[in-house]
């Protein structure tokens, strides 16, 4: 079956509309996505476990009628349990696991009409802002510059969308893992409000409620439609986000009211950020002001170091749990070389944390959420760069450090590269990365807007307004299918 040469001219909703009008078939879109994967994936190493026959069967059976009917789609190689879509979790120790059930998030994505044909790479157990898992044989590279990372942990998703393999891909975000690749790859990446999306049936929450699913896309409306299609609690969910007054697709049809937007040109501690990132914030603040919004240089006050220590303890405990459950299932511990040094260290650290210390970390997360929420009594949104630097070079932040805490919090640790994202996993607030700046050497620099708990509507209204004022959809990475 032939492909569809005009594939790049449309976002996911646009492709679905063509399918509904019978201007193109779902089969043609799938074959185009598969051909593009074959052409570009050897350069970027973003797509794993291609399940073309499963996708073709889904089309033959008739994909559901929904907002994305017939659009090719990829799941992240972490979570998103789905029968027929084998997973590695970015790890040799977890490699080649076949699920016996479907996750609720996958079922909702499938019901929206998306046609899943494979998975995208992730760092081991989702721990890291780059995607360099040994299980994949090579790092995942950034289509804008192959010497740089596409981000993590949804780095394969970001690279696949930026390289033109597909317009929309699944991701998840426990410390920036949707927003970081969105920033690195010049895409839209929304982390929804805590518990906006389901975690079932296997879990009620991830990483103490800090982790949540999402998507990476080229358009605000694709992200809005994907959240609309997947939002809401599933059976037995322990807690859920406040209901949205209207679907996000309705919200983005009208501009926001005049907003009071705080902006940051340093990290939360006052540390300097890369000049390109500072310039990106200043230019975006001017753009927002030109649209009629009030801009104030300000940032919330809270104990940043204590919050990041708590985040690291919770992630370490989650890592230990995952490794120990896998060891129990296999009947043996991980062998040398089956876990990256940083992950082995994280698991060891997690096992050594006393239960009262874990609960104290949870209390710190909750206290940080309350402190930051007070800031949003006087400000509608907070603008910062998504990262404190442009995309890192391959290897710099790989999981090779045998000291997890140093890898995260040390003088050369991830906390200095990505200080802005994890805070909103801690607080549970929605935050979005938008592709509003490119560096002098052509690398994307994302801008993060964070909003009040439960208020994706304001974020998405502003995102749509900025997309119209400073369009990005026609930008193409140098490495493109």
The yes-or-no verdict on residue 2 having pLDDT over 90 is no
Q: Is residue 2 part of a domain?
A: no
- Confidence class for position 32, pLDDT limits 50, 70, 90: very high
103-106's contacts with Cβ under 8 Å and 24+ in sequence apart are: 103/79, 103/198, 103/200, 103/201, 103/202, 104/198, 104/199, 104/200, 104/201, 104/234, 105/79, 105/80, 105/170, 105/197, 105/198, 105/199, 105/213, 105/230, 106/75, 106/80, 106/81, 106/82
Q: What positions carry a catalytic annotation? A: 76, 153, 177
- Confidence class for position 3, pLDDT limits 50, 70, 90: confident
- Confidence class for position 428, pLDDT limits 50, 70, 90: very high
The yes-or-no verdict on residue 232 having pLDDT over 90 is yes
Q: Is residue 147 part of a domain?
A: yes
The yes-or-no verdict on residue 389 having pLDDT over 90 is yes
Query: What confidence score (pLDDT) does residue 1 get?
Result: 63
Residues 95-109: tens digit of each pLDDT: 999 999 999 999 999
- Closest CA relative to residue 343, chosen from 171, 73, 107, 122: 122
Q: Is residue 136 part of a domain?
A: yes
- Confidence class for position 255, pLDDT limits 50, 70, 90: very high
Q: Is residue 258 part of a domain?
A: yes
Q: Is residue 144 part of a domain?
A: yes
- Confidence class for position 473, pLDDT limits 50, 70, 90: very high
Mean pLDDT confidence for 122-131? 98
Query: What confidence score (pLDDT) does residue 353 get?
Result: 98
Q: Is residue 61 part of a domain?
A: yes
CATH of the domain at 57: 3.90.1300.10
Domain span at 185: 7-469
Number of folded domains that form the chain: 1
Mean pLDDT confidence for 243-266? 98
Q: Is residue 480 part of a domain?
A: no
Q: Is residue 479 part of a domain?
A: no
What is the percent of the chain where pLDDT is above 70? 100
């Amino acid at each position: 079956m032939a492909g569809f040469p005009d594939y790049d001219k449309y976002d996911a909703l646009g492709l679905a509309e063509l399918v509904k009008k019978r201007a193109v078939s779902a089969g043609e879109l799938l074959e185009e996505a598969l051909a593009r994967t074959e052409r570009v994936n050897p350069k970027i190493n973003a797509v794993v476990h291609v399940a073309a026959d499963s996708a073709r069967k889904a089309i033959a059976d008739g994909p559901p009628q929904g907002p994305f009917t017939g659009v090719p789609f990829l799941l992240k190689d972490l979570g998103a349990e789905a029968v027929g879509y084998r997973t590695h979790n970015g790890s040799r120790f977890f490699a080649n696991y076949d699920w016996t059930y479907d996750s609720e998030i996958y079922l909702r994505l499938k019901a929206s009409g998306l046609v899943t044909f494979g998975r995208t790479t992730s760092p081991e157990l989702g721990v890291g802002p780059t995607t360099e898992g040994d299980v994949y044989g090579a790092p995942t590279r950034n289509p804008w510059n192959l010497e740089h990372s596409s981000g993590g942990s949804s780095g394969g998703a970001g690279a696949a969308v930026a390289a033109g393999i597909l317009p929309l891909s699944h991701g998840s975000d426990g410390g920036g893992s949707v927003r970081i690749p969105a920033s690195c790859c010049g895409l839209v990446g929304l982390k929804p409000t805590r518990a906006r999306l389901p975690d079932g049936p296997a879990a009620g929450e991830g990483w103490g409620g800090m982790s949540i699913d999402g998507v990476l896309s080229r358009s605000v409306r694709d992200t809005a439609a994907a959240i609309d299609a997947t939002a809401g609690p599933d059976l037995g969910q322990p807690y859920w986000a406040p209901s949205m007054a209207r679907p996000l697709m309705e919200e983005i049809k009208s501009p926001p009211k005049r907003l009071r937007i705080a902006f940051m040109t340093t990290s939360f501690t006052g540390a300097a950020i890369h000049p390109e990132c500072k310039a990106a914030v200043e230019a975006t603040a001017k753009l927002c002001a030109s649209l009629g919004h009030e801009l104030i240089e300000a940032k919330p006050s809270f104990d940043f170091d204590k919050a990041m220590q708590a985040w690291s303890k919770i992630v370490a405990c989650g890592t230990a749990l995952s490794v120990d459950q896998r060891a129990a299932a296999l009947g043996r511990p991980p062998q040398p070389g089956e876990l990256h040094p940083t992950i082995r260290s994280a698991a060891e650290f997690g096992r050594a944390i006393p239960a009262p210390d874990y609960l104290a970390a949870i209390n710190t997360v909750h206290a940080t959420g309350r402190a930051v929420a007070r800031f949003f009594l006087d400000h509608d949104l907070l603008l910062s760069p998504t990262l404190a630097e442009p995309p890192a070079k391959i290897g710099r932040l790989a999981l090779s450090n045998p000291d997890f805490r140093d890898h995260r919090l040390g003088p050369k640790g991830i906390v200095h590269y990505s200080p802005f994202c994890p805070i909103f996993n801690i607080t549970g607030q929605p935050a979005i990365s938008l592709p509003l700046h490119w560096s002098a050497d052509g690398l994307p620099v994302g801008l993060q807007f964070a909003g009040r708990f439960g208020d994706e509507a304001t974020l998405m209204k502003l995102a749509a307004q900025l997309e119209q004022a400073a369009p990005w959809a026609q930008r193409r990475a140098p490495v493109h299918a």
